[in-house]
Amino acid sequence: MQLKDFSSHKSVAKLASLARTPHDLTAVDGLTAQRIEDYAVSFCGFDLLYGTQRVTPEVIDALQQLADEAGLIDAFLAMKEGEVLNRIEGYASENRQVLHTASRDVFTERPREPKAAAKAKEQLAKLHRFLEGVDNGSIANAQGHLFTTMVQVGIGGSDLGPRALYLALQRYCRPGRSARFIANVDPDDVAAVLRELDLSRCLFNVVSKSGTTLETLTNEQLVREALLQAGLNPAHHMVAVTGEGSPMDDATKYLASFHMYDYIGGRYSATSMVGLVTLGFALGVEAVRALLEGAHAVDLAAEERDIRKNVPLLMALLGIWNHNFLGHATIAILPYSQALARFPAHLQQCDMESNGKSVTRQGNPVTWQTGPIVWGEPGTNGQHAFYQLIHQGTEIVPAEFIGFRHNQYGIDLEVQGTSSQQKLITNMLAQSLALAMGKDDTNPARRFAGNRPNLVLIADRLTPSTMGALLAIYEHRIAFQGFCWNVNSFDQEGVQLGKVLATRLLGLLTDQGQSARDDSLEKSLLRRSGML
């Protein structure tokens, strides 16, 4: 699969010319009832409303042309079929397949990549056996008591996705079960979590694909020490998820070990054992199945070539329109759902670690913008915090609103004639309109310029299956954009340098600086910071 440079596509010149006069959402008839109808699509349980983007049918046609010229669907199919897409041609690189979709391609007789799907099924079967033991008490603590809490110890992709999904679905926890997370090497993160728990009823799930991550290995030791101090045998309280053959792949140290594979990137690993062990413990196997089904449905639907019918592809191209052609550097993910509180943080890693790149798949410098800055917080809280800048600041921030028609717990009350859920979602829709249309005023401080592009993704209720679909929509949006920019979205060389320098500084602390000259940069920095 040979992807071409973004700037080489004919549609790019066409889009650049269209971007000189983008659709004016503030004009009379700029945003009408008909426009809301025309720019809407239903997809795997979600409705995407994008009439509040600065697009016309001509722009959508040109974006379709870009998708076709850049071969986005062919690249997506090649990815799912196991082509080695995690590589930089002619240079040392990871040289791996990209098969996170295989972790949920477990429902059909003819999966896209049979070997990876078979391994996913094998791990799922192992997880089911383990959870059966935890349920029936054959796996229990020394006193024969059932485990109640699973604490996931991991960082980056081994934390953010699983944590975001757990928080999103916490409402569906099995009675008496819960999960907690430890990520940061800050010792206070561990201490704050452990002090609230009865360690004798906890399972610790240490998750690291590489099995070498400093933060996770350090936190594992802190947990082992805490267990020993509580008179507990760590081997009876700890499970592991790691890459096959990694330094952590040692069954003797753990009650159970699960594998993930080198063809699943950390930030795409939430539907592999990296996420499913803790989710399975807390929510049960039925919820895990529904989550995978939701994601798998999107994996299939995202093969559609017509951008008007394929939500992840359309969102990818709308993002490119805003970023590369209208020049907006950042996007805000604004879920109107408290359960999705950590979903923006997960997307931040997924998107920025994937597409924060400056060289092409051929190793040449890019001459176009790649990944945007991604950030966000739940509404309506954000409205009372940073929305001022989104409405009236000098930086235009395309916004993506995510909401649900019904709440999860079914507990709500009408106050002043409307329920809280109605207040929540009408606020979301009102923000979408306000950003798009703006408002004129004789007082300049009260003027809203409008034309701030945004979209709304709305579904019935946040359930395991909806969550799986939402996760996959964003994963594929990010991959489609990476293909279009011709970058390798599946490596993360940019995180290495800081790790190397941290190791060097730690070395100076352990030998009291003996290995470096007194006037060395590192020693001066440590001394001036009061660390040496």
Ligand X SMILES: O=P(O)(O)OC[C@H]1O[C@](O)(CO)[C@@H](O)[C@@H]1O
- What are the residue numbers of the active site? 353, 384, 499
Among 57-65, 207-215, 218-226, 362-370, the segment contacting ligand X (CB under 6 A): 207-215
Cβ-based neighbour number of residue 272 at 10 Å: 29
Q: Name the token pair of 98.
A: 């990209």
CB of 246 to ligand X, least distance (A): 8
End-to-end CA distance of the chain: 52
Q: Name the token pair of 433.
A: 């309109």
Asked if residue 267 binds ligand X (CB under 6 A), the reply is: yes
Of 158 and 360, the one with the shorter C-beta distance to ligand X is 158
Cα–Cα distance, 430 to 478 (Å, whole number): 27
Residue for token pair 């947990």? 223
Cα–Cα distance, 241 to 497 (Å, whole number): 26
Of 154 and 403, the one with the shorter C-beta distance to ligand X is 154
Of 11 and 213, the one with the shorter C-beta distance to ligand X is 213
Cis peptide before 101 (omega within 30 of 0): no
Of 161 and 438, the one with the shorter C-beta distance to ligand X is 161
Cα–Cα distance, 46 to 405 (Å, whole number): 11
Nearest one of 445, 412, 413, 448 to 431, comparing CA atoms: 448
Asked if residue 54 binds ligand X (CB under 6 A), the reply is: no
Asked if residue 157 binds ligand X (CB under 6 A), the reply is: yes
Asked if residue 278 binds ligand X (CB under 6 A), the reply is: no
Q: Name the token pair of 373.
A: 């800055």
Cβ-based neighbour number of residue 434 at 10 Å: 18
Asked if residue 86 binds ligand X (CB under 6 A), the reply is: no
Among 54, 209, 323, 328, binds ligand X (CB under 6 A): 209
Q: Between 345 and 384, how does the x/- string for binding to ligand X read (CB under 6 A)?
A: --------x-------------------------------
Q: Between 212 and 231, how does the x/- string for binding to ligand X read (CB under 6 A)?
A: -x--x---------------
Of 67 and 150, the one with the shorter C-beta distance to ligand X is 150
Of 123 and 466, the one with the shorter C-beta distance to ligand X is 123
Give yes or no for a contact between 203 and 150, defined as CB atoms under 8 angstroms apart.
Answer: yes
CB of 501 to ligand X, least distance (A): 13
Residues 464-493 that bind ligand X (CB under 6 A): 492
CB of 240 to ligand X, least distance (A): 11
Ramachandran quadrant class, 376 (left: phi over 0; alpha: psi -120 to 50; beta: rest)? left
Among 118-126, 131-139, 208-216, 412-420, the segment contacting ligand X (CB under 6 A): 208-216
Of 94 and 113, the one with the shorter C-beta distance to ligand X is 94
Residue for token pair 């008591």? 145
CB of 262 to ligand X, least distance (A): 11
Asked if residue 158 binds ligand X (CB under 6 A), the reply is: yes
Nearest one of 83, 108, 80, 112 to 95, comparing CA atoms: 83
Among 170, 210, 362, 421, binds ligand X (CB under 6 A): 210
Among 48, 72, 117, 155, binds ligand X (CB under 6 A): 155
Asked if residue 502 binds ligand X (CB under 6 A), the reply is: no
CB burial of residue 158 (10 Å; 0-12, 13-18, 19+): buried
Asked if residue 495 binds ligand X (CB under 6 A), the reply is: yes
CB of 47 to ligand X, least distance (A): 32
Q: What Rg do the C-alpha atoms of the chain give, in angstroms?
A: 24
Cα–Cα distance, 95 to 490 (Å, whole number): 10
Q: Name the token pair of 236.
A: 């009876």
Among 156, 382, 453, 468, binds ligand X (CB under 6 A): 156
Of 9 and 475, the one with the shorter C-beta distance to ligand X is 475
Cα–Cα distance, 234 to 36 (Å, whole number): 57
Cα–Cα distance, 471 to 165 (Å, whole number): 9
Among 131-139, 152-160, 474-482, 505-513, the segment contacting ligand X (CB under 6 A): 152-160
CB of 267 to ligand X, least distance (A): 6
Please state the φ and ψ torsions of residue 238, each to the nearest 5 degrees: -125, 135
| Number of residues near ligand X (by CB under 6 A) | 14
Amino acid code (one letter) for 347: L
Give yes or no for a contact between 163 and 342, defined as CB atoms under 8 angstroms apart.
Answer: yes
Asked if residue 266 binds ligand X (CB under 6 A), the reply is: yes
Q: Give the binding site for ligand X (CB under 6 A).
A: 155-158, 208-210, 213, 216, 266-267, 353, 492, 495
